[in-house]
Structures are given as structure tokens and as C-alpha cells.
Amino acid sequence: MVKLLLSTHSRVLEFDTETKESKVLHIGQGIYYGLLYPWVVSRSSRECLLNMETDEKVFLPSVFTHDATRVGSRIIVTDCEGGGLVEFQWPSMKLVRNVKPFTIRHHVNTVAIVNDEVWALLHNLGKSLLVKVDMDTGKRIEQRTDVGTQSHGLVWWHGNFVILDSFNGAVIHGDTTLWKSDTKCFLKGLCVHDDVAYFGLSEITERSNRGSLQLQCEVLALDLNTRKLLWRHPVQTCGLLNAIAQGACDPVESLVL
């Protein structure tokens, strides 16, 4: 059994993958995005990392903040509008660096740390890009193009990244399509645990309607080894599902290429 955290345009939920039940963990602080339990990115009048247990806030030097990740003592969040990656130190939450290797046009939305290297996924308002960034200089040192269109999600698994090719409704791994929807949809929110990918699916929705309390999404579970869909379940997300993370546990200390 795995308990997942789901962040949406209106709330943070805990979702039980065995019972398929969900409960609200936090509500009323704007749009929720990147998850670092007990912290979550909160986009409201002033963007911050919000501690859901204590309501402590760490204000962010970013605008239209999206994903957040932590490996060991490193926290990195994506500054989508500013084209930046902002690094904090865990658990002090002290700002370490703020680099801006991209532009607003790149729409950087997801970040991963693998073997102490930082990779950023660029939605790119079309054909997406995956870029390795030198966090000391802010320079782009490697770039990949085989990462889908308007993509989200970035999880290292078996020698490559699992990514959501959001526009095409597919889960990809390098140049391999692991699963593809047979209907038009949009994928967003990705977590991998024990060779199972958990990801979010919604109907195609106008951006202006993504905060609608009537918008409900689904969570799907995909066996990455067999490429078989294990289940899919509707969730009362009350807005677009933005991110999925494993529940209250520490992330791994390191990931090795």
C-alpha cells in the first residue's frame, strides 16, 4: 500500500492507493504545486513554500512557481515565469542560489536531481526539452529533445527518465512509449514507487477553467515493467491535479545514473 500526496488548484489531498479514498490535508492557500512533505509550493498573493503542519512560510524569489524536489539536503523549485531554478538547503530552508538559465517562453515546470546533477524539463509551449544545468554557473551543459510535447513529470527509473508526454496523453521512457491513452486527454502529476508509475489524467481543459471546483481528475497506476495499467480512479480534486508525490516519508538520499 502506498499513500500519495496530490496537489491541485485548490487543495492538497492524501490518496490511499489501496482503498482509493482521499482526504484533504490543506486548503485555502491559493494554487498548490510542488510537494516536499510537509512542505508544498503555494501560489497565492505571495508565493511560498508552505509547511502544511505548522503554516510556516518560506517566501520564494519566484513567480508562477511550479515543481519542487528534494534529495538529501538539496531543495530546488522551478521559477516558471522567471526562467529560473531556486535552491534551498534542507532543513534550514536557507536560500542557497537562484540561477536563471531559461526564459518565460521555455516554461520550466519540473526538476529532478540525479547523482547530484540537476535536470530541468521545459514544457516549451510545444515540443519539450530536457536540460542538465550547472547550478554554480547557471549554464546549460546538456540537452535532450526526445521528451514529448508540453511535457510534465520527471522521475529517474532504470537508466532513463519517465516523463509524461502530456499533449499526446502518453507515458514515455526515453524513446519508448510505455502507455498511451486511447482518448484525448492531458497528463500531469507523476510519482514512481516500486516500479509503478502513479500519474494524473484530466480532460482537455481551458487554462481559465483549471481552477474550477467542478473539475475532477483521475489517478492512474501503471506497471512500468509490464506496461499494463493496473487501475484508474476518479478523485475529487476540485481543480486541475498539478503534482503527485509519495506520502510522509523522506526522499532517497541519492540517485545514481
φ/ψ of 106, rounded to 5, equals -70, -25
Express the helix, strand and coil content of the chain in percent, nearest 5 each.
Answer: 0, 55, 40
pLDDT band at 248 (very low <50, low <70, confident <90, very high): low
Specify the pLDDT at position 46.
Answer: 94
Summarize the confidence of residues 77-82 as an average pLDDT. 98
69, containing H or E segment:
strand 65-71
Cβ atoms of 189 and 151 within 8 Å: the answer is no
252 grid coordinates: 532517497
pLDDT band at 212 (very low <50, low <70, confident <90, very high): confident
Judged against a pLDDT cut of 50, whether residue 254 lies above it is answered with no
- Give ∠ CA 174-175-178 in degrees, rounded to 5: 80
49 grid coordinates: 513554500
Longest dimension (CA), the chain: 47
Judged against a pLDDT cut of 90, whether residue 203 lies above it is answered with no
User: In the chain, count of helices (H) and strands (E)?
Assistant: 0, 24
Cβ atoms of 169 and 186 within 8 Å: the answer is yes
Summarize the confidence of residues 71-100 as an average pLDDT. 97
Summarize pLDDT for 18-77 with one digit per residue, the tens. Answer: 999 999 999 999 999 999 999 999 999 999 999 999 999 999 999 999 999 999 999 999
Alpha-carbon span 152 to 9, nearest angstrom: 16
| DSSP code, position 253 | S
177 grid coordinates: 512509449
Specify the pLDDT at position 209.
Answer: 73
Q: Which among 69, 72, 168 has a CA at the least distance from the CA of 119?
A: 69
Q: 64: helix, coil or strand?
A: coil
Neighbouring C-alpha atoms within 13 Å toward the C-beta of 35: 27
CATH code: domain 3-246 is: 2.130.10.10
- Indicate the residue type of 140: R
- Indicate the residue type of 212: S
Specify the pLDDT at position 174.
Answer: 93
Summarize pLDDT for 135-158 with one digit per residue, the tens. Answer: 999 999 999 999 999 999 999 999
Judged against a pLDDT cut of 60, whether residue 255 lies above it is answered with no
Specify the pLDDT at position 229.
Answer: 98
Summarize pLDDT for 19-36 with one digit per residue, the tens. Answer: 999 999 999 999 999 999
Dihedral of the alpha carbons of 191, 257, 110, 97, in degrees to the nearest 10:
130
Residue 21 burial (CB count, 10 A): 11
Cβ atoms of 75 and 68 within 8 Å: the answer is yes
Summarize the confidence of residues 85-91 as an average pLDDT. 97
